[in-house]
């Protein structure tokens, strides 16, 4: 078995120096093949309020310099257990959403053709749809855990079918999600009307609000989510605005009353042993961030997702 090539040794090269890859990991072209690829998707043409998530991948990579190789919460050294590499960015058309979605899907197909699992860093939530398409092509209909302040199951916005508020409605319509195993986590805030919730329920989603997480606690929340997804192939999509603005100010559509970063990370760690096959972390908009709070949180979320993938049997 080939020994995985890990991050640059921080005892030799200080963390503020060295490569600007995620966690200072090797680039994909330096290792040839990888088990888990971190890929940036710098696209934010699908946003409905504050733009800037196109700069998210670079900001998350920069914040990830401080990540260390051993994860005590999951008792794993993910970069030693599996080859993990930075696959760079998927360059897509910033003016044409349809073309960008097609480009992202094609790139995800190419990156996963040999069985590589993807952790994508966005970019806005529009990118989840092409990533789900590529994942479902390999694994069949997917269970989905969607961490977000918002439902993202609206039909259209200003007549557009592909936006950051519509990816999961399109995914259900296309049959790439298992409607017996869909869940939103951390939702909150005002809606356009009660029909938003009715439509969402009709599509097959269960909802665990941020208030539910607060009242039930981590363990009960995790138990409920694990029962819902069962042993199905699981995709996890994390909009960083699932966190309260105190924990993630640098995002496009912040909502008060959100989860803490500790709650989010502990829920993710509670998914250990599930059949995770891919994930994304989206909506980091560094122009609205201060002291890199949001980027730091997103880098840790990505690290936990990598660790969960690395711990698969």
Q: Is 148 annotated as a binding residue?
A: yes
200 annotated ligand binder: no
241 annotated binding-site participant: yes
User: Does residue 98 lie within any of the structural domains?
Assistant: yes
Q: Is position 300 annotated in a ligand binding site?
A: no
Q: Is 125 annotated as a binding residue?
A: yes
Domain assignment of residue 214, given as a range:
22-310
Does 146 count as an annotated binding residue?
A: no
| pLDDT tens, the chain, 313 aa long | 689 999 999 999 999 999 999 999 999 999 999 999 999 999 999 999 999 999 999 999 999 999 999 999 999 999 999 999 999 999 999 999 999 999 999 999 999 999 999 999 999 999 999 999 999 999 999 999 999 999 999 999 999 999 999 999 999 999 999 999 999 999 999 999 999 999 999 999 999 999 999 999 999 999 999 999 999 999 999 999 999 999 999 999 999 999 999 999 999 999 999 999 999 999 999 999 999 999 999 999 999 999 999 998 7
pLDDT of residue 260: 98
Instruction: Tell me, yes or no, whether 125 lies in a domain.
Output: yes
Is residue 127 in a domain? yes
Q: CA-to-CA distance for 288 and 104, rounded, in angstroms? A: 26
**What pLDDT is attached to residue 7?**
97
pLDDT of residue 1: 62
Q: Is residue 215 part of a domain?
A: yes
Is 72 part of a structural domain of the chain? yes
Q: Provide the number of structural domains found in the chain.
A: 1
pLDDT of residue 2: 84
pTM: 0.98
Q: 17 lies in a domain? A: no
Q: What is the CATH number of the domain that holds 140?
A: 3.40.800.10
> Do the domain assignments include residue 300?
yes
3-state SS of the chain is CCCCCCCCCCCCCCCCCCCCCHHHCCEHHHHCCCCEEEEEECCCCCCCCCCCHHHHHHHHHHHHHHCCCCECCCCECHHHHCCEEEEEECCCCCCCHHHHHHHHHHHHHHHHCCCCEEEEEECCHHHHHHHHHHHHHHHCCEEEEEECCCCCCCCCECCECCCCCCHHHHHHHCCCEEEEEEEEEEECCCCCCHHHHHHHHHHCEEEEEHHHHHHHCHHHHHHHHHHHHCCCCEEEEEEHHHECCCCCCCCCCCCCCCECHHHHHHHHHCCCCCCEEEEEEECCCHHHCCCCHHHHHHHHHHHHHHHHHHCCC
């Amino acid at each position: 078995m080939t020994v995985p090539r890990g991050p640059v040794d921080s005892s030799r090269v200080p963390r503020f120096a060295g490569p600007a890859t995620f966690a200072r990991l090797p680039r994909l072209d330096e290792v040839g093949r990888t088990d888990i690829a971190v890929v940036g998707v710098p696209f934010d043409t699908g946003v409905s309020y504050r733009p800037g998530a196109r700069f998210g991948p670079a900001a998350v990579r920069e914040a990830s310099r401080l990540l260390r190789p051993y994860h005590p919460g999951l008792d794993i050294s993910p970069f030693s257990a599996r080859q993990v590499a930075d696959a760079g960015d998927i360059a897509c058309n910033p003016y044409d959403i349809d073309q960008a979605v097609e480009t992202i899907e094609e790139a995800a197909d190419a990156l996963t053709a040999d069985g590589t699992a993807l952790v994508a860093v966005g970019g806005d939530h529009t990118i989840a749809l092409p990533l789900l398409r590529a994942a479902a092509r390999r694994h069949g209909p997917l269970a989905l855990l969607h961490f977000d302040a918002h439902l993202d199951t609206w039909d259209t916005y200003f007549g557009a079918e592909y936006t950051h508020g519509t990816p999961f409605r399109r995914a259900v319509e296309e049959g790439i999600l298992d409607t017996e195993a869909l869940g939103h986590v951390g939702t909150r805030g005002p809606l356009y009307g009660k029909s938003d919730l009715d439509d969402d329920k009709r599509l097959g989603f269960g909802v665990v609000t941020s208030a539910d997480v607060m009242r039930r606690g981590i363990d009960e929340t995790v138990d409920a989510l694990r029962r819902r997804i069962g042993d199905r192939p699981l995709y996890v999509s994390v909009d960083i605005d699932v966190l309260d603005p105190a924990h993630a100010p640098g995002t496009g559509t912040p909502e008060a009353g959100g989860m803490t970063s500790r709650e989010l990370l502990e829920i993710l760690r509670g998914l250990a042993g599930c059949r995770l096959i891919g994930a994304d972390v989206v909506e980091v908009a560094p122009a609205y961030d201060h002291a890199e709070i949001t980027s730091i949180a997103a880098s840790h979320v990505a690290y936990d997702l990598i660790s969960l993938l690395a711990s698969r049997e």
